[in-house]
Amino acid sequence: MKNIAILGSTGSIGTQTLEVVRENQDIRVLGLSAGSNITRLEEQIREFRPKLAAVWNEEKAKELRLRIADLDTRVVSGMEGLTELAVIHETDILVTAIVGMIGIRPTIEAIRAGKDIALANKETLVTAGHIIMPLAREKNVSILPVDSEHSAIFQSLRGNDGKAVKKILLTASGGPFRGKKEEDLLDIQVEDALKHPNWSMGRKITIDSSTMVNKGLEVMEARWLFDVKMDQIQVVIQPQSIIHSMVEYVDGAVMAQLGTPDMKLPIQYALYYPERRYLPGERLDFWKLGRLDFEEPDMDTFYALALAYEAGRAEGTLPTVFNAANELAVKMFLDREIKYLEITQIIEDCMRAHKNKENPTLQEILEAEAEVYERIESRR
C-alpha cells in the first residue's frame, strides 16, 4: 500500500490522479488540497477520507471546517498548510499538481522530509531546479515526471546508458494557433486561446500551450530533470500529440514513447514506477492513424519559445523572471486586461529590465518574482 498526498487535488492533474487511485484501489490518500474550490474538495474528502486537507484561502478553510465537522479530516490553510500537507509523516509520494511557482516551498520541504515527488508543477523546477535537483540527490529522493513529454523521455531513457544521450526531442502539438502569423493573432480572445486541439487541461497551461510558453517551460524542466544542456533539447512539432517525446542516442538510434493523449498514463507511471500497470482507455490503431506529421517550431511568431531558451541558457534568476512575468500576464489576459500578444511582450520586457543573479537562493528567487510583479503592476 502506497501513501500519497496531492498539492492541488481539485485541478485537472489532481482529479485525474484521484481517478487513477480510484481505479487501482491500492493507494491511500493522506492529504488533499485546493486554492479555493471547497465544493470539489469536500466531495474528494468524503470519498478518500484523508487525514489532512489544505485550503489556500483562509475564509474558505473556515467554511470547509464547518462543512466537514462530521469527519476526522483536519483542515489547514495558507503556505503553512500547504507545507504541512507536503510533509505528512506516512506519505511516500507527494503529487505536485498545483499551478505556478507557489509550489516551490512545499516541494522543497517534501524533499527535505524524504518524500518522492510525482512532479506536474513544472514552474517549480523551472525557477528552482538548481536547488531542487541537488537536494533530491542528497536526500535520495526520486523526482518522477508527470508531464507527458517528460514521462515519455523518462520512459525512453529506461534500459539505456544516460551518458550515450545525444539529444532530447521534445514534442509539441503547436497549440490552437499553429501555422498562424502575428497579424492573425492580433484579436485573439480568451475563448479562442482556451481551445486546445488535443488536450483538456487547466486554464493557465492551456494559454501557455497556445503561446508556446508551455514548451519553453518544458525545455527548462527537461534540462533539470535529465541533466542536459539547453542546446541538447530540440523542440519538434508533432501536431497529433501521439509521440509524446523522444531521445536520440550517440549511435543515431531514437527511442520514443507513443500513445493516445491521456494524462492518466504518465500519472499512473509516476505513481507505480518502475511497475507498468493496466490502464483502461483507447489504444493506438496505426492502420487508422495512417500518418504522423512533424514541423519545425515557428520561433519568430511564437518567440516566447526563443525567450525561454535565452532564459534557460542564462540560468540564475532569469527563468524566474520569464515564468513570473508569464504567470501574471496570463492572469491579466484571462481577466481580459491585456491583449493576447501582450503576454509575450510583457515577458520580454521584464527579461530585458532584469539584472540576472547567478545561482539564486530561494529568497532571491522570490525577490525576483516580486520585482516582476511590481514592474508589471506599476505599468497598469
Q: Would you tell me which residues interact with ligand NAD (CB under 6 A)?
A: 8-14, 33-35, 37, 56, 82, 97-99, 102, 120-123, 147, 199, 201-202, 204-205, 263
Closer CB to ligand NAD, 23 or 231, in the complex = 23
Burial class (CB in 10 A: 0-12, 13-18, 19+), 349: middle
Report how far apart, in Å, the C-alpha atoms of 33 and of each of 7, 97, 319 are: 5, 10, 27
The three-state secondary structure class of 378 is helix
Residue 249 bridge partners (DSSP) = 165
Task: Report the amino acid identity of residue 164.
Answer: A
CB atoms within 10 A of CB 282: 9
Least distance CB 148 / Mg ion (angstroms): 5
Least distance CB 150 / Mg ion (angstroms): 7
Closer CB to ligand NAD, 37 or 356, in the complex = 37
Closer CB to ligand NAD, 19 or 249, in the complex = 19
Closer CB to ligand NAD, 262 or 367, in the complex = 262
Closer CB to ligand NAD, 162 or 281, in the complex = 281
Which entry of Mg ion, ligand NAD, none binds 261, CB below 5 to 8 A by partner kind?
Answer: none
Residue with nearest beta carbon to Mg ion: 147
Least distance CB 81 / Mg ion (angstroms): 28
Which entry of Mg ion, ligand NAD, none binds 35, CB below 5 to 8 A by partner kind?
Answer: ligand NAD
Closer CB to ligand NAD, 151 or 301, in the complex = 151
Least distance CB 221 / Mg ion (angstroms): 9
Which cell numbers hold the place of 257? 514513447
The three-state secondary structure class of 145 is strand
Which entry of ligand NAD, Mg ion, none binds 241, CB below 5 to 8 A by partner kind?
Answer: none
Least distance CB 263 / Mg ion (angstroms): 9
Report how far apart, in Å, the C-alpha atoms of 160 and of each of 90, 125, 142, 155, 261 are: 33, 24, 18, 10, 25
Residue with nearest beta carbon to ligand NAD: 11
- Give the integer Cα–Cα distance in Å for 15 and 6: 10
Least distance CB 353 / ligand NAD (angstroms): 25
Cis-peptide, bond into residue 274, ω within 30° of zero: yes
Which entry of ligand NAD, Mg ion, none binds 369, CB below 5 to 8 A by partner kind?
Answer: none
Residues in CB range of 205: below 8 A, 6 or more apart: 12, 99, 214
Residue numbers of the site for Mg ion (CB under 5 A)? Answer: 147-149
330: closest CA among 125, 121, 179, 190?
Answer: 190
362: closest CA among 141, 109, 28?
Answer: 109
Closer CB to Mg ion, 147 or 248, in the complex = 147
Which cell numbers hold the place of 313? 541558457
Least distance CB 182 / ligand NAD (angstroms): 25
CB atoms within 10 A of CB 246: 22
